Amino acid sequence: MNALVPPLLNGTAQGALLLLAALGLSLTFGQMGVINMAHGEFLMIGAFTAYLVQQVIDSSDLSIPVALPVAFVVAGLLGLLLEVSIIRWMYRRPLDTLLVTIGVSLILQQAALQTFPAQGVPVKQPGWLDGQLTILGYSWPLRQSFTIVLAAACVAILSAWLKYTSFGRRIRATVQNRDLAETAGISTRTVDRLTFFVGSGLAGVAGVAASLIGGTNSQMGAQYIIPAFLVVAAGGIGQLKGTVIAAWAVGVALSCFAYWTTGSLAQVLALILVIVFLQVRPQGLFTVRTRSLA
């Protein structure tokens, strides 16, 4: 078995999960400048939604496909609630949104700890994900390919939505020049709300994927937030393709380091790698061309 195959394949899957977690952030951070530190907790809400859906629909073959849209809507609505109640007052103070949402994340974590069994809840994997694919002599868990397919589908739908629908055009217009978009008659308030809904909803979808990989408990969201932000930053603000490439690169780096060194060292090396990359190229992989001075 080639020593490159397992880390490359698993790294791609790990990158896909990171991408799912980062997609929503890329929208809300890149397009609105809001730094939502509670994004990880929306992911947790998505995972708990998957569990709750499984309590209603017994067959796990069916419940996970059902849970995906439900988690999207539940997390999206909570995101909308956050936007309407708190975030909208702070659009001119991006760093402060970061702090406010830290508060929100602390509250959501504690609420989840007290609502659900402290040890976490089981989310059953659908039967059609049992088994492995044999690739170049390596039995690759089928579940890993599911994460990749899911991430690819989300990216495809999101980019098509941004490109071809009128809402998507409005979002892009608002990103490129908020004032001009407003002058052209676009309600940036509506656009903001919708963006936040979609961004948070994507975290919910990521949560369903994460519930199949690790534990579903009150602490699960915290491990994704920092890597997801680094991915968004490394990819470049508001750049979908940048986010995709950065997530893949971080995932593969994590997995390769973990394969060749140790699990702990891999986390450290991957973080350092991104930090160094951002020193060299602080604007990320891709940038929106603007005439801004700074």
Partner 1 sequence: MSTFSRRLRTLVATGTIVTVALALAGCGARAGDGTPGAESAAPSCVDTSGDTIKLGFLNSLTGGMAISEKTVSNVLHMAADEINAGGGILGKKIKYIQEDGATDWPTFAEKAEKLLTQDCVAAIFGGWTSSSRKAVKPVVEKHNGLFFYPVQYEGLESSPNIYYTGATTNQQIIPAMDFLASKGVKRLFLAGSDYVFPRTANAIIKLYAAKLGIQIVGEEYVPLDKDDWTTQVAKIVAAKPDFIFNTINGSSNVGFIKAYYDAGLTAATTPIISVSIAEEEAPAMGHEITGQYASWNYFESLKTDTNPKFIKSWKAYPNSSGVTSDPMEAAYISLYLYKALVEAAGSFDVDAVNAAAKKNTITFAAPEGTVTLDGENHHISKPGHIGRINANNQFDIVWSSDKFIAPDPFLKGYDWFPANVRDQLVKAAG
Partner 2 sequence: MTKLKPRLSLIGIGVFAVLLLVVAPLVLTDHWLSNLGKYCCWAIAAVGIGLAWGRGGMLVMGQGVFFALGAYSMAMHLTLETAGAGVPGFMVLYDPLAPLPAFWEPFRSAAFTLLAIVLLPVIVAGLLGYALFKRRVKGAYFAILSQALAVALATLISSTIRETGGDTGLSDFKYFFGFVLEDPANRVMVYLIAAALLVVCLLVVWQLYRSRFGELLVATRDAEERVRFLGYDPATVKLVAFVLAALMASIGGAMFVPIVGIITPAEIGAAASILMIAGVAFGGRASLFGPALGAMAVGWGQSSLGSAWPEGWTYIVGLLFIVVILFLPKGLSSLLPRFTAARRSPGEQPAAGTAAPELEAVQS
Between 119 and 279, CB nearer to partner 1: 119
Please give the structure tokens belonging to residue 271.
């973080």
Q: Does 114 bind partner 2 (CB under 8 A)?
A: yes
Q: Which stretch binds partner 1 (CB under 8 A): 12-20, 26-34, 92-100, 184-192?
A: 12-20
Q: Does 138 bind partner 1 (CB under 8 A)?
A: yes
The answer to whether the beta carbons of residues 204 and 49 sit under 8 Å apart is yes
Minimum distance of partner 2 from residue 71's CB (angstroms): 23
> HEC string of 3-56?
CCHHHHHHHHHHHHHHHHHHHHHHHHHHHHCCCCCCHHHHHHHHHHHHHHHHHH
Minimum distance of partner 2 from residue 110's CB (angstroms): 4
Q: Which of residues 14-33 bind partner 2 (CB under 8 A)?
A: 29, 33
Q: Which stretch binds partner 1 (CB under 8 A): 92-100, 161-169, 205-213, 240-248?
A: 205-213
Q: Does 98 bind partner 2 (CB under 8 A)?
A: yes
Q: Does 212 bind partner 1 (CB under 8 A)?
A: yes
**Of these, 1, 84, 103, 187, which contacts partner 2 (CB under 8 A)?**
103
Q: How far is CA 171 from CA 57, 198, 281, in A?
A: 36, 12, 26
The interface mask with partner 2, positions 44-83, x = CB under 8 A, is: ----------------------------------------
Q: Does 133 bind partner 1 (CB under 8 A)?
A: no
Q: Does 166 bind partner 2 (CB under 8 A)?
A: no
Q: Which of residues 237-276 bind partner 1 (CB under 8 A)?
A: 254-255, 258-259, 262-264, 267
Between 65 and 117, CB nearer to partner 1: 117
| Burial letters 40-58, b for 16+ CB under 10 A, else e | bbbbbbbbbbbbbbbeeee
Q: Which residue has the tokens 């397919």?
A: 149
Minimum distance of partner 2 from residue 229's CB (angstroms): 5
Between 81 and 102, CB nearer to partner 2: 102
Counting other chains too, the contacts that 251-255 makes at CB distance below 8 Å and 24 or more residues apart are 251/11, 251/12, 251/13, 251/14, 251/15, 251/16, 251/17, 251/18, 251/19, 252/7, 252/8, 252/11, 252/12, 252/14, 252/15, 253/11, 254/11, 254/14, 255/6, 255/7, 255/8, 255/10, 255/11, 255/14
Between 105 and 217, CB nearer to partner 1: 217
Q: Does 221 bind partner 1 (CB under 8 A)?
A: no
